[in-house]
Amino acid sequence: MSIVLGIESSCDETAAALVTDDRVILAQRIASQDEEHRPFGGVVPEIAARAHAERLAPLIEATLADAGMTLDQVDAIAATAGPGLIGGVMVGLVTAKALAMATDKPLIAVNHLEGHALSPRLADASLAYPYLLLLVSGGHCQILLVEDVGQFRRLGTTIDDALGEAFDKSAKVLGLGYPGGPALERLALQGDAKKVPLPRPLKGSAEPHFSFAGLKSAVLRAKQSGEYTDADIAASFQQAAIDCLIDRTRRALAKCGPVNALVVAGGVAANKAIRSALEALAASHLLPFIAPPLSLCTDNAAMIAWAGVERFERGQSDPLDVAARPRWPLDPEAEAVRGAGVKA
Ligand code: KG4
Ligand code: ZN
């Protein structure tokens, strides 16, 4: 059996986890920085880097203690090496390098997006390559064909906002708290999705890309008009977002060739209306629909450790001078899409 220590520090979550090659999460800890960033209404990179630096070492120690293990029993050390906020990424990667050097264990530099993309295989042993992955969160909005470890085809991306960002911004217009996605979903249950005419940006276009900025602006205009209830706006927004998502994913399914499953990951995968719409789409294509548990969908270190396991099993590791990368596309051949504003 092999055991990999995973470290995640690319945004505002400091996390460590120990994962085995037979898919057991022996221990995992996540320290969120919400309190530090709340006064600024968003993640402040300098504050994030400092908080990671203060917390990471004790967090790794505590994770090892939770599993009743020492570092000597670990087979490899995997850390997010990008993409993300570079200060935080460096904290995690430098820590991993120091541990790898001190213990003479292999270092595995993991692409954070690969962590997300492979996490469904940690949760579900039956999920085989290739599969079509919809990665939707506050920072990610991509449709990926996952062919193997390190082998991705990016079929679609957003040309402006990520889907979770659109939920959060629309929720803000409606005076709901941050993060707004869950609150907006609750309010939508009380509204009529047919009441407010809203656009479906890029619906029907040939390439399966996304755009949500126009939808968000239309929500603002609907609110300012004073003609609609907040619940009707919320329900209409959510339906417009789902219509876009389904149309774009259907397009991707038509383009990607045979796949074993339709998979969704990322914080937005918590949305029940979105889940059931995707499940119906998968069923109409006779495909299984897989959504990992939410704890694996949002940023975490178990997914980084698991990506490490998959690479370790293939005999892959990285030199100790491997560089942190603020930008690191999964599919280097994907064309830049005009206006792409995808955060890591
Ligand atoms: O993956 P995540 O925790 O963080 C990153 O963005 O990396 O995703 C958080 C995003 C937020 O934009 C949040 O509003 C959205 O996921 N979200 C939801 C729901 N729960 C979380 N959006 C719609 N409906 C939900 N139920
Ligand atoms: Zn992420």
For ligand 1, mutation pick of 268, 272, 274, 297 (most atoms within 8 Å of CB): 268
For residue 339, the one-letter residue type is G
Q: At 191, which amino acid appears?
A: G
Tens digit of pLDDT at every position of the chain (344 positions)? 999 999 999 988 999 999 999 999 999 999 988 888 877 767 889 999 999 999 999 999 999 999 999 999 999 999 999 999 999 999 999 999 999 999 999 999 999 999 999 999 999 999 999 999 999 988 889 999 999 999 999 999 999 999 999 999 999 999 997 678 999 999 999 999 999 999 999 999 999 999 999 999 999 999 999 999 999 999 999 999 999 999 999 999 999 999 999 999 988 998 999 999 999 999 999 999 999 998 898 899 999 999 999 999 999 999 999 999 999 999 998 887 765 444 43
Whole-number Å distance between alpha carbons of 45 and 338: 26
Structure tokens at 234: 């919320």
Please give the number of the atom of ligand 1 that sits closest to the Cα of 139.
Answer: 6
* Domain parsing of the chain, residue ranges: 3-117+296-313, 128-291
CATH architecture of 128-291: 2-Layer Sandwich (3.30)
Best residue for ligand 1 mutational test, from 80, 137, 297, 299 (most atoms within 8 Å of Cβ): 137
pLDDT at 32: 87
Give CA–CA dist 88/14, Å, rounded: 9
Cβ atoms within 10 Å of 170's Cβ, excluding its own: 29
Quote the pLDDT of residue 294.
86
Single-letter residue type at 282: A
Same CATH topology for 3-117+296-313 and 128-291? yes
**Distance of CA 322 from the midpoint of ligand 2 (Å):** 21
Fold that domain 3-117+296-313 belongs to in CATH: Nucleotidyltransferase; domain 5 (3.30.420)
SS3 content of the chain, % helix, strand, coil (to 5): 45, 20, 35
For residue 317, what is the DSSP state?
-
271 Cβ inside 6 Å of ligand 1: yes
Q: Give the residue whose CA is nearest to atom 22 of ligand 1.
A: 181
- Is the whole-model pTM more than 0.85? yes
Q: How much is the pLDDT for 338?
A: 64
- So what's the pLDDT on residue 336? 78
